[in-house]
Structure 1
Amino acid sequence: MHAMQYTITLPADYDMDVIRRRVAAKGSLLDDFPDLGLKAYLIRERGREGSPVNEYAPFYLWNGTAGLGRFLWGGSGFGGIVADFGRPTVRHWIGAAATAGPEPAGGPPRTAVRRTGTVPDGADPAGSMARAAAELSALAGTPGLHSAAVALDPHHWELVHFSLWADTAPADLPGDRYQVLHLSAPGLAELTLADRTAGATR
């Protein structure tokens, strides 16, 4: 599994309905994209849920790198972003674990939370990853959870925790909060099945 996100920060007076219309028109194009576990089409709006900015920030979980590459440079999808907004920096993390929550089949999620943190300098990452996996496991049974994942960028030793929620995320869950405009999830079952299989062999 691989996690990926790029963010497009928009002017303070930007009409976010432009992004809503864009996603309504194009979001379903990735509903059966090869190797895609899920793509959550995310926005933040200035002044809502504590956001200081208007932002379009889709988040991806990939089951394989062939599809990821095809999306970025194979003429499938990302070229439209580059043409309309310029080429954003694409952040990438190696997936560690993913889980389905109690609500994966109860309709599309409405909100998402993303939190990042760092593995302390000089520390063995094993302890940080074990704690992140335990946190994910504890979150899995939370009412309203659609799905969640944890991943690591070993270049910057950055951890990312990502979760999707059927409605409003728990108020005490830390992180940046997003609205979900659409979810393409052709490989969601494969993401969570791989995690369960890994857990059985650990």
Structure 2
Amino acid sequence: MHAMQYEITLPADYDMGVIRHRVESKGHLLDEFPGLGFKAYLMRERGKAGSPVNQYAPFYLWNTAEGMNSFLWGPGFQGLVDDFGRPVVQNWTVLAYEEGGAPGAVPRTAVRHRRPIPPSARLPELADELAVEARRLAQQHGAVCAVTAVDPRTWEAVHFSLWEHEAPAITGDVFQVLHLSTPEREKLPSGRQW
């Protein structure tokens, strides 16, 4: 599995209703996209939930590399590039995926916590610790699901979680979930991925 996210940071006075309308009119286009576990259409608004910026930042969890490549090299992503410019696409290898206690709930909030992996870290023990963190997040009240992934190019770990209510008291960037496409969510393997 691969996790992927890009961030489009917008001006402070940007009408975020434009992003809401974009998701309302186009979000359904990935509801049946092959190879996609889920896409969370995420937004942050400056001054809300501690956000310093206006930002559109969808998060993807891919079942297959073919699905991810089909999206990145296809007309859907090109449409985003045409409208906003080509963003940097962050990509992480998934270490663990866990369904939460509210898997059928419609998520309202997402939290992303990124942290550097120190050079001194023992990787086998760290991988176990990161997988346990995904399970711990998923077991909290209101959790829809949790993902833990690593970028081995930059040695950064990311914990991503979806919630059926407002953001819980955990560290990270808080996003509003505008839509969730889940074409192959039921195919996502649970637990550690090695």
Structure 1 length as normaliser, TM-score? 0.92
Cα deviation for residue 87 of structure 1 reads 0.3
Q: CA deviation at 1:146?
A: 0.5
Structure 2 residue aligned with 1:90: 89
Tell me, yes or no, if the aligned pair for 1:146 and 1:165 is still in contact at 8 Å. Answer: yes
Partner of 2:47, secondary structure, is coil
User: Secondary structure at the residue paired with 2:33?
Assistant: coil
Question: Residues of 2 paired with 1:6 and 1:125: CA distance?
Answer: 26
Shifted more, 12-21 versus 139-148: the winner is 139-148
Gaps of 5+ in 1: none
Q: Deviations over 1:122-170 (max 9, x none)?
A: 4332222211111111222211001110001000011010000001121
Aligned residues of 2:99 and 2:190 also touching (Cα < 8 A): no
Work out whether 1:116 is the aligned partner of 2:111: no
Report if aligned partners of 2:149, 2:159 keep a CA contact under 8 Å in 1: yes
Aligned pairs for 1:148-167 (under 5 A) are 148-167=146-165
Contact 1:119 1:125 in 2 (8 A): no
Give the SS at the match of 1:135: helix
Secondary structure at 2:78 match in 1:
helix
Displaced runs of 4 or more, over 3 A: none
Q: In the alignment, what sits opposite 1:11?
A: 11
1:48-67 superposed matches below 5 A: 48-67=48-67
Look up the match of 1:195: 190
Cα distance in 1, alignment partners of residues 111 and 136 from structure 2: 16
Gaps spanning 5+ residues in structure 2: where? none
The residue aligned with 2:182 is 185
- What's the offset of the Cα at 1:109? 0.4
| Aligned with 1:141 (options 139, 145, 165) | 139
The offset of 1:184, in angstroms, is 0.3
**What is the aligned-residue identity percentage?**
55
- Distance in 1 of aligned mates of 2:37 and 2:102: 17
Give the match's secondary structure for 1:5: strand
Q: Distance in 1 between the 2:157 and 2:120 partners? A: 15
Partner of 2:71: 71
TM (norm. structure 2) is 0.96
